[in-house]
Amino acid sequence: MVKIIPFKAVRPTRDKVSLVAARSYQSYSKEQRESRLRDNPFSFLHIVNPGYRFEKEISGIERYSLVKNRYLEFKEENIFVQDEKPTYYIYKIVDRENQEFNGIVAATSALDYENDLIKKHEDTIEYREIIFKEYLKTVGFNAEPVLLTYPDNAVIKGIISEKQKERPEYEFTTTYRDTHYLWRVDEPELLKNIEEEFKSMPHIYIADGHHRSASSYLLYKDLKALNPNHQGDEPYNFFMSYLIPESDLRIHEFNRLVKDLNGLSKDAFLIQLDTVYRIENRGTNPYKPTQKHHFSMYLDGDFYSLYLRKSAYNNDTSLDSLDAQILYKTILEPILGVEDLRNDERIFYMNGKKDIVNLKSNVDSGDFAVGFVMVAVTIEEMKQIADDGLKMPPKSTFIEPKLRSGITIYEF
């Protein structure tokens, strides 16, 4: 039984929302960040990069405190205002490729995370969880929702469709050419209907935001322990999420590039591969696999198809059948010596939305020795691995939609 609740979001005023909304800080180049900070005084980047005002890089607790100060300034200047009533927020994104995403921004339960009603499929790094938890504890708000997915539901779909016939609270297009819409849902009957529909679900799944949800859970544990009058309905018991139906989720692959062949010659490398794969040289024409357990490899100016030999690998679990795991267990670890997929500086990940020619260019430049291309993980694979309590290798999925920060803000 999944619990979600409406909340009183802090939001930009209608006239400034397009100026406030920002992609994740890391997704901008240095030049792009500097341009937005210089030319747009309303950008959310001013909040998360408070050192810009002082023309210096600031980190740690000092930065967190300044982030809180910048946030309070945005509220004092009425760039941000808070809704008066608890609300669900229907949020729609239409991207530059005309893909449409429809969902609900709500507060989801930290207890559901603890009890595995919110299921995970990806490992997290402990120090990153702790750092972001301390950040949240200092600033007192979260401005980017975790992306969760739920089984398609006719009642919720109907509520969303009806609400979208009204004039949206927000409608704006970004320079990235995606268009965003937001509708407020605060009618008591609709609030109850949405809450009841989620209560009928045995569990939902994290699609993107494993570290954010883990950090929010750690924050909940800390603040609960510090509160002798803990009741269970305090804001820290929940974290902000964007919930979309499974049919709206878009999953792309993450391809791999490795800097060297681990001391092997090209021929010696291919001979070792031959024990596990049927190999065919495809020449210079880009080759992209279309089936599970098939891989594309780019090496020394040529593309190769690699077909897994069934007799050479055992698929004992749902994780074993995942292509990212197969690539790791048959090539990256035993042949190329890449053991730590998170921290080894010899491996680089490229999301599958980028053209395969981009991968080729990175090898041709000499920066990498070899590249591997996979097919995307399916929603069924992702759910099965989560249901089995297993975790995918890092960078197994590149999931859309990618959300903007600063459109709805959750305070605790």
Dihedrals phi, psi of 103, to nearest 5 degrees: -160, -170
pLDDT digit string, tens, across residues 65-105: 999 999 999 999 999 999 999 999 999 999 999 999 999 99
Say how far apart CA 133 and CA 124 lie, in whole Å.
Answer: 13
The mean pLDDT of 220-248, rounded to a whole number, is 97
Dihedrals phi, psi of 33, to nearest 5 degrees: -60, -45
The mean pLDDT of 238-247, rounded to a whole number, is 98
Residue 164 near residue 171 (C-beta atoms within 8 A):
no
Q: Is the pTM of this model over 0.75?
A: yes
What is the pLDDT confidence band of residue 30, given thresholds at 50, 70 and 90?
confident
Tokens describing residue 396: 């197994």
Examine the pLDDT at 382 and tell me if it is beyond 90.
yes
Question: Where does 254-375 sit in CATH, by number?
Answer: 3.30.1760
Residue 396 near residue 172 (C-beta atoms within 8 A):
no
Tokens describing residue 202: 């045995």
The mean pLDDT of 162-183, rounded to a whole number, is 96
Alpha-helical segments (H) within 172-235: 188-199, 210-226
- Domains of the chain, by residue range, sit at 4-249+400-411, 254-375
Bridge partners (DSSP) of residue 241 are 106, 146
Q: Quote the pLDDT of residue 26.
A: 80
Q: Which residues contact 266 (CB under 8 A, 6 or more apart)?
A: 299, 300
Specify the length of the chain in residues.
Answer: 412
The continuous run of DSSP H or E covering 103 comes out as strand 100-109
pLDDT digit string, tens, across residues 271-329: 999 999 999 999 999 999 999 999 999 999 999 999 999 888 888 999 999 999 999 99
